Structure 1
Amino acid sequence: MKYKTTADIEPLKEMLGQEKAIEAMEFGLKIDDVGYNLYISGETGTGRTSYVLKKLKEYTKDKVNQKDWCYVYNFEEAREPIALDFEIGKGKLFKRDMEKFIDDLYIELQRAFESEEFEVEKNKILDEYEIKKEIYIKKMKAYGDERGFKLKNTKYGMVFVPKDEETDTTSEEFVKLKREMENITIKVISKIKELEIVAKENLLELEEEIGVYIIKPHIEYLIEEYGENYKVKKYLAHLSDDLLENMYIFYLDEEELKNINEKEYLMKYKVNLFIDNVSNSNVDKAPVVIELNPTYLNLFGKAEYESVNGTIKTDFTKLVPGAFHKANGGYLVLYVDQILRNPHCWDTIKICLQTKKIKIETLTGLKPEAIPIDVKIILIGSQYLYNMLYMYDEEFNKYFKVMVDFDSEMDKDNDNEMGVAKFISSYCNNNNLKHFTYDAVQVVLKYSSRLVESNKKLSTRFNKISELLIESNLFAKIRNSEFVDDIDVKKAIHEKWNRVNKIEKKIDGMYESNQLLISVDKEKVGVINGLSVLNMGEYSFGRPVVITVTTSPGNKGIINIEREAKLSGKIHDKGVLILSGYLLENFSKEKPVSITSNICFEQSYSGVDGDSASGAELYALLSSLSEIPLKQNIAVTGSINQKGDVQVVGGVTQKVEGFYSICKQKGLNGKQGVILPKYNLENLILRDEVQESIDKGEFHIYPITRIEEAMEILTNKSFSEIYDKIIKRLNKFYEISR
C-alpha cells in the first residue's frame, strides 16, 4: 500500500510482531491456578511491559473478587491483631462507623451519667445504704449505752470506750465486757461492709444498665451492617464486653484522666483500614500493582515504629500494607532482576504462593494475623534469568508454568512493514509529532532491519524506533517542514552515531597517522586484514585488524600468541584449534604435519575473542605455508569448520563499513572489498554511502561458502596450485624435522 504520509493511514491498535507472546499471555491469564503465574521474557524495548499492563486492564474488568481489609485489636490476645475482611467499600464504612461510635459514646455516656434520672437512681441506692448503715450504728450505740460504753470514731475506725473515765479497766468483768463490745463492733462493721458492697454492686448494675442501654443499639447496628462475617460479629461481641467493663474511661474528669494513658487505652477501639479498594480506585476492576522497588518491606508489608522514652513501640494501627496486599485479588507485576537483588524476597514469594497467605513480620513481637491471598504474579525478566531460575530453583517451574517470550525481531513482509508505518502514525498522533512521509518510513524500516542485522527481519524494539522518530521530528522542525522526510531521518541517524563515535574517530586518526599499521593495497605473504567489531554500549563499529602468521619446521603445531599472552578468549582458542583440525584433514594423509606456526593479532592489546577471524587466520597460515602472497586490498571475515566450510558470523555490516572507512581514508582504488560468508548476505544492511560505492564498482563484496574460494580470490591462483605448494613445503618440513 502506497501512502503519502503516515497521517493518511490508520494508527496501530494491536501489538506488532508478537503473535506467540500474545497467545501465551492469553493462555496464562485465563487459567486461575496458583501454579500458572507468568514469566515475561524478552529484550528491553520490545513493549513487553506496556503490553502486559494494557492486557491486564482488559482482564481486570472481568475479575472483581478483591476485599477490603482492616486490622483490629484482639481482646483475647493483645499481641495478635485480627484481620477482618469486608466487601469492597465496606472497610472504609466500618472504620467510619467505629470512629463515630466511639465519639458518640463520649457524649452519650457523659450525658447519661450527668442526667437527673441517673442522679435520682444513684441517690436512692446511696440513701438506702446510708439509712441502713445509720440503723446499725444507732443500734450499736444503744447497745453500748446500756452497758456503760459510748461509740467513738478514731483513725482506726469505730471503737467503744467507757462512759465513766474512772472505770477500772483492769477488772476481769470490764475486760470480759470490753471483749464482748469489740465482737459486736466487728459484726456491725461487717454488716456495714456488706451493705457497702451491695450498694456498689447496685451502682455498677445501674451503670451497666445505662451502658447496655447506650452501647447495645450501636453494637446491634454494627452487627446488622457488618455481621455477615462471623469474625466481625465475634470481634464486636468482645468489643461490647470490653466497653461495658471499662466505660468509666469515657466520663472521667480531666484530673482523673491524668492517672491513665487515655490515648493508649482507647487505641484498642481504633480500626486500621489496611486495604481500601475505594481509595485505590479498584471498585469495578481487580487491582494491578507494579512494584518497581521490590524490597522485602515494600512487598510484604511492615509495622511502623515510634520511640517512647527510648523504647521502640508499635501496635496494630501502625501496620502498613505491601505490594502483595495491594494486589490481593488481582495481579502483581515484578521485575525479576530487582527481586533477586533483595535478600529473602524470592523465597518469601514462593512461601506466599505455597501457603496462599501473607504475614507481616515485626521486630517487637507483634504477630498480626496472616491474610489469605489470591494473586497472579507476572515476572518480567531476561531469557538468561529465566534459564538460571529454571535450572537452579526446582520450585520455579512449579509456580511459573507460563513462559511469555517477546521476540526482538519479526519477519520483514508487507504486513509488518505496514504495521511499522501504523506504529509511526499512532506514535506521532499520541506525542504530537510531525507525520512521516513514505520515503521517511522506508529509512526507518532500513534502520529497523539494521538493528536486528537482517534485511529479512524488522526489529520489535520499538523504544529504539521511538527515539529515532523523536529525533527526526526535531530536524524536520529545524527545516520548518510540514512533514518528516527521509533527509530528516538520515540526519537523525547520522547525528545519533556522531554523538557516540568518539573512540571510532580516535582509532581512525591512529590509522591516518600510521600509529596503527595497515596496508590496503599490494600483496604480502602470511599477512591478512581480518575484521573485528568494537562495542561501545549502544554503538558498535567495525575496524580491520592485521593478522600475521609465520611457519617453520618443528613439532609445536600452531601457537596462538594471544593465548600465550593471556589475551585470548575461549572461543578464539577454539577457532585456532580448528585450524589444526583442518590441516590434519587435508595435509597429513601420507605424512604428519611437522610445523611450528605462530599466529598473532598485531597491535592488539586488549584481548581477542570470538571465532569470526578463524577464516582469516587459516588463509594467512596457508599463505605462509605456500609462500603465496595475499591481497591486502581485501579484508576477510567468517569462521570455518575442520572440513573447510565457511560459517556465518555476527557484525558483518559494521565490519564491511569499517574496512570501507579505512580504504576511503587511505584512498579507494576500485579493487578493495570484503570476503564474507555467503549466508551472511542477508545480514548486510549498509549505509547509503557504502552501498552506493558497491553499486558503482568502487568497493566489492565477495560471498563464499568454502575456503578454497577465498584463497583463489585472495591470490588469483587456483586452489590446486596452492595445495601442491603447501604439500611440497610440508614434505620439506617433515624431512627437516626428522
Structure 2
Amino acid sequence: MKFKTTAELEPLEKILGQEKATNAMEFGLNIDDIGYNIYISGDIGTGRTSYALDILKKYAKNKDGHLDWCYVYNFENPLEPTALSFEKGVGRKFKKDIDKLIDDLLNEFNQASNSERYEKERNQILNNHEIKKQALIQQIKDYGKQKGFNFKSTQNGMVFVPIDENIDSNSQEFLQAKIEIENMTIETISKIRELEEQAKQELMDLEEHIGISVVDPYIKSLLRKYGKNPKVKKYLLDMREDILDNIYIFYLEEEEMQNIDEKEYFIKYKVNLIIDNGRDRNVQNAPVILELNPIYSNLFGRVEYENDKGVIKTDFTKIVPGSLHRANGGYLVLYVDQLLRSPYSWDILKRTLQFKTIKIDTATSMKPEPIPVDVKIVLIGSHYLYDVLYFYDEEFNKYFKVLVDFDTDMDRNEENELGVAKFISSYCKKENLKHFTYDAVQVVLKYSSRISQSRKKLSTRFNKIKELIIESNLFADRRNSELVDKEDVKNAIYEKINRINKIEQRLDEMYKSNKLLISVEGKKIGVINGLSVINMGEYSFGRPAVITVTSSPGNRGIINIEREVRLSGSIHDKGVLILSGYLLENFSKEVPVSITANICFEQSYSGIDGDSASSAELYALLSSLSQVPIKQSIAVTGSVNQKGEVQVVGGVTEKVEGFYQICKSKGLTGNQGVIIPKNNIDNLVLTDEIEDAIKQGIFKIYPVSRIEEAIEILTDVTFEEICDKINDRLKKFYEMSK
C-alpha cells in the first residue's frame, strides 16, 4: 500500500468483505412483493445496521409512493374514524384548510347574524308571528266578551272573569259558556304554538339559507382542490350536511357559547394528521425507519386517553401513529431479539403483512379504519434466531424469503487491506481523530487477522477496529503526537487486555508458586501438557493442562475420569471413545486389546468439553502402554480421528501463547515448543515477542498431520519401536487377563 498516513486516502464508500450479503440485499430490495422481506443475519459489529440504513436510504431516493395519512370524524359512525390519504406534503395543507374553514365560518356567521339583511328578515318573521299571535289572542278576547267574560293575563297565565259580577256561577248558562271559552282557549293556544313552531322553522330556514350561502362557497372550493379523492369528497359533503344540521351553533353569541362545550362540539371538524411528509425536507425520499423498541403500541399505533374529572375520554384526535405508519411506502428496520421479546408484536406483524393493512386495536369501542400498508421489512438478528424462526415458525419463510448473511471475516488481500486503511481514514475524518501512519495500519491489520483467527483473513467486525482507533488516539494524545503510530496501537491493545485479564494473571501466579503443578523440562511416562482455551467473555486466553494416563491389564477399556465424575462434555467424551477405535485399528491384530486405562485432567475442577486434547490424550496413552517417556517441554493441541490423522482445532493462537508464557515464567531453555495440526498454521497470528522467539529458535512450532510424526517428536523414538513395545506389553496384559 502506497501511503504514509491515512489522511492521504479517499474515504471508504462501500462495505468491506460482504459481497454475497450485498448481492442478496440488492436482490431483495429490487423485488416488490409482500413475501420478499429481508432478514440480515450476522454477528454484532459487522456493520449490519449501518449498511442496512445506508443502502435503504439510497433506494429510498427512487421510491416515492409514500403518502400523508390523517384520521377524520366519521359522521355516519363516530366510533369508526375515517382514514384519508393525500399526496406527500398535501396532508398538512388539507388540515390547515379545514382548520381555516371552521374559523372562517364562525367569522362569517357572526357577520351574517349581525347584518342588516339578516336582522330585517329575522324581525319580519318575528313580527309576522307576533301579529298572527295577537290576532288569535284578540279573537279569544272578542269571543269571551260575547260570552260575558273579560280576558286577563296573570302570573299563572290567561284567565277569564265574568263581566257581570252578580252572575250565578252555578247556573247552566254560566257553566256552558265557561266550557266553550276554555275549549276556544285550548284551541287558540295550540294555534299559537303552531305559529311559534312555524316561526322557529322559518328562522331555521333563514339560518340554513344564509348558512348554505356561507358554507357552500367554501365547500365547493375545497371540493375543487381535494375532490378527486372519493373519500375526501364524501367527507367534505358529510361535513357540510353536519354543519347545516347544527347551524344554530354557529349563530350563538359568546355568552351562549359558554353554556356548551365548544371544544367537544367543534373537535369533530378537526383533522388528525398522523403522517406528515411535508415537514421533511427530503419529502421525495421514501421513509426509512429504525424502530429500537418494537412494543405493540410503538409498531402499530395507539389511542391515547384523558381523565376529565374522573371520566376517561378519548376521540379520533388522540390516535397516535406507530413506526409502521411512519415507514408506510418505505422501509422499516427491526431487531429480531427485541421484536420477539415484545408480546404480540411478532404475530401481529405477520397478520399485518398477510392482510396488507395496519390495524390499531384499542381497549375501547373506538375502531379506527385500517390503513393499507406498503412497506419492506428488514429484520436484523443472529444466525441462531434465523434458524429458530425458519424451523419453528412456518409463516416466517412465507414473508421473509431473502436472507442477507453477513460474514465475520474476509480474505486478506491487497484490496481488502487498502479497504481497512480507507475505513480508518473515513472514521478518523468523521470523528475528527488523529490519522494513522502506515506502520500503525499494519498493526491494525494484524489485530484484525488475530480476531478472525487466520493470517489469511481479516475480520469484518469493524466495531472492534473502531474501538482500537479511539483507544490508540488516546496514547497518541499522551505523546502530543499529530499522528497515531504503531506503538500507540500496540499500547492500546496491551491496555485493553490488561483491563480484563485478571483471571489469567491469577492463574499465572498459581503456576509460578507451584500451586498448579506443571513441568516444562524433562521427560515423564504417561504425562503430557495439553492445551486449553479459557473464555472470559470478550477475552480468551490459553493455558496448559496436565493430562495423565495410567494403564494396566483388564477389560474395562479406556476410562475417562472426567466423565465418571460428570465433568466431561459430550464432545470430549466422543474424543476419548475415538482413542479406543485407534487402538483397535492398530494394536488388535495379534491379540485382543485387554487393558484398563485411566485418563485424567489433573487439577481440573470444572467442566471440560471439546476434542482438541484428544491427540494429547492419545500420546500419553501410547507413552503409558509403551513405557516410553514424553518430553514435558513440548505441549500439544489437536484432535485425532480413528485413523490417526491430526485434525484442526480452534484457539490455536491463544494455546501457543499460553504455553509460551508459562515457559517464559519458568525459564526458556530453547527446547520448548508446541505441536499443532499442520492445517492450523494459517490460524497462527502470534504476538511480536513470540514471533521473534520462534525466529531466534528459542521457541518452536511443530506442525504435524499424523500421530506418528508427533509421537516421534515427543519421544525421540521411532513409531515402529513404540508400536513394538506396545504390542509386547499388550501380549503380557492378554496373558495376565486370561
TM-score w.r.t. the length of structure 1 is 0.97
CA contact (8 A) 2:207 2:247 kept: no
1:693-718 deviation digits (Å, cap 9, x = unpaired): 11111111111111111111111111
**Following the alignment from structure 2 to structure 1, what is the Cα–Cα distance between the partners of residues 264 and 132?**
42
Q: Say yes or no: does 1:85 pair with 2:89.
A: no
Which residue number in structure 1 is paired with residue 412 of structure 2? 412
* Aligned AA (2:56): L
Which residue number in structure 1 is paired with residue 710 of structure 2? 710
Which residue number in structure 1 is paired with residue 528 of structure 2? 528
Q: Say yes or no: does 1:648 pair with 2:648.
A: yes
1:429-478 deviation digits (Å, cap 9, x = unpaired): 32333332222222221111111111111111122112222222332333
1:562-608 deviation digits (Å, cap 9, x = unpaired): 12222111211111111122222222234332222221111111211
Which residue number in structure 2 is paired with residue 125 of structure 1? 125
Q: Which sits farther off after the overlay, 514-523 or 275-284?
A: 275-284
1:185-584 paired onto structure 2 within 5 Å = 185-584=185-584
**Following the alignment from structure 1 to structure 2, what is the Cα–Cα distance between the partners of residues 119 and 435?**
83
**Following the alignment from structure 1 to structure 2, what is the Cα–Cα distance between the partners of residues 480 and 139?**
114
Which residue number in structure 2 is paired with residue 726 of structure 1? 726
**Following the alignment from structure 1 to structure 2, what is the Cα–Cα distance between the partners of residues 688 and 572?**
33
Pick closer, same or farther for the CA change 1:137–1:431 going to 2, 3 Å.
closer
CA contact (8 A) 1:159 1:185 kept: no
Give the CA deviation at 1:188.
Answer: 2.1
Pick closer, same or farther for the CA change 1:314–1:590 going to 2, 3 Å.
farther
Give the CA deviation at 1:667.
Answer: 0.7
**Following the alignment from structure 1 to structure 2, what is the Cα–Cα distance between the partners of residues 398 and 321?**
27
Give the CA deviation at 1:299.
Answer: 0.8
* Aligned AA (2:145): D
**Following the alignment from structure 1 to structure 2, what is the Cα–Cα distance between the partners of residues 190 and 481?**
105
What is the SS of the residue equivalent to 2:74?
A: coil
**Following the alignment from structure 2 to structure 1, what is the Cα–Cα distance between the partners of residues 130 and 17?**
95
Aligned length: 738
* Aligned AA (2:398): K
What is the SS of the residue equivalent to 1:260?
A: coil
Give the CA deviation at 1:154.
Answer: 5.1
* Aligned AA (1:569): G
**Following the alignment from structure 2 to structure 1, what is the Cα–Cα distance between the partners of residues 233 and 15?**
50
Give the CA deviation at 1:366.
Answer: 1.3
Which residue number in structure 1 is paired with residue 95 of structure 2? 95
Give the CA deviation at 1:74.
Answer: 1.1
What is the SS of the residue equivalent to 1:600?
A: strand
Which residue number in structure 1 is paired with residue 7 of structure 2? 7
**Following the alignment from structure 2 to structure 1, what is the Cα–Cα distance between the partners of residues 148 and 478?**
125
* Aligned AA (1:6): T
Which residue number in structure 2 is paired with residue 661 of structure 1? 661
Give the CA deviation at 1:21.
Answer: 1.2
**Following the alignment from structure 1 to structure 2, what is the Cα–Cα distance between the partners of residues 476 and 184?**
112
Give the CA deviation at 1:678.
Answer: 0.2
1:145-164 deviation digits (Å, cap 9, x = unpaired): 12212223356643544322
1:91-113 deviation digits (Å, cap 9, x = unpaired): 11111111112122222212221
Give the CA deviation at 1:669.
Answer: 0.7
Which residue number in structure 1 is paired with residue 697 of structure 2? 697
Q: Which sits farther off after the overlay, 170-179 or 661-670?
A: 170-179
Give the CA deviation at 1:663.
Answer: 0.4
**Following the alignment from structure 1 to structure 2, what is the Cα–Cα distance between the partners of residues 199 and 484?**
94
Which residue number in structure 2 is paired with residue 736 of structure 1? 736
**Following the alignment from structure 1 to structure 2, what is the Cα–Cα distance between the partners of residues 601 and 364?**
66
1:163-174 paired onto structure 2 within 5 Å = 163-174=163-174
Give the CA deviation at 1:254.
Answer: 4.9
Which residue number in structure 1 is paired with residue 611 of structure 2? 611
Q: Which sits farther off after the overlay, 387-396 or 237-246?
A: 237-246
What is the SS of the residue equivalent to 1:236?
A: helix
* Aligned AA (1:278): G
* Aligned AA (1:525): I
Give the CA deviation at 1:280.
Answer: 4.0
Give the CA deviation at 1:143.
Answer: 2.1
1:33-52 paired onto structure 2 within 5 Å = 33-52=33-52
1:29-79 deviation digits (Å, cap 9, x = unpaired): 111111111111111221221111111111111101111111111111111
**Following the alignment from structure 2 to structure 1, what is the Cα–Cα distance between the partners of residues 424 and 170?**
122
* Aligned AA (1:584): L
**Following the alignment from structure 1 to structure 2, what is the Cα–Cα distance between the partners of residues 300 and 280?**
22
Q: Say yes or no: does 1:56 pair with 2:56.
A: yes
Which residue number in structure 1 is paired with residue 676 of structure 2? 676
Q: Which sits farther off after the overlay, 341-350 or 725-734?
A: 725-734
**Following the alignment from structure 1 to structure 2, what is the Cα–Cα distance between the partners of residues 186 and 444?**
107
What is the SS of the residue equivalent to 1:118?
A: helix
Which residue number in structure 1 is paired with residue 137 of structure 2? 137
Which residue number in structure 2 is paired with residue 30 of structure 1? 30
Pick closer, same or farther for the CA change 1:639–1:215 going to 2, 3 Å.
same
Gaps of 5+ in 1: none
1:106-159 deviation digits (Å, cap 9, x = unpaired): 222122212332221111111111111111222222222122122233566435
**Following the alignment from structure 2 to structure 1, what is the Cα–Cα distance between the partners of residues 154 and 11?**
102
* Aligned AA (1:291): E
Q: Which sits farther off after the overlay, 175-184 or 295-304?
A: 175-184
1:482-529 deviation digits (Å, cap 9, x = unpaired): 432222222222222222222111111110001111000111111110
**Following the alignment from structure 1 to structure 2, what is the Cα–Cα distance between the partners of residues 254 and 582?**
102
Q: What's the Cα RMSD here?
A: 1.7
* Aligned AA (1:173): E
1:272-315 deviation digits (Å, cap 9, x = unpaired): 11110122444110000001111111111111111123232221
CA contact (8 A) 1:159 1:182 kept: no
Q: Which sits farther off after the overlay, 344-353 or 310-319?
A: 310-319
What is the SS of the residue equivalent to 1:278?
A: helix
**Following the alignment from structure 2 to structure 1, what is the Cα–Cα distance between the partners of residues 596 and 314?**
78
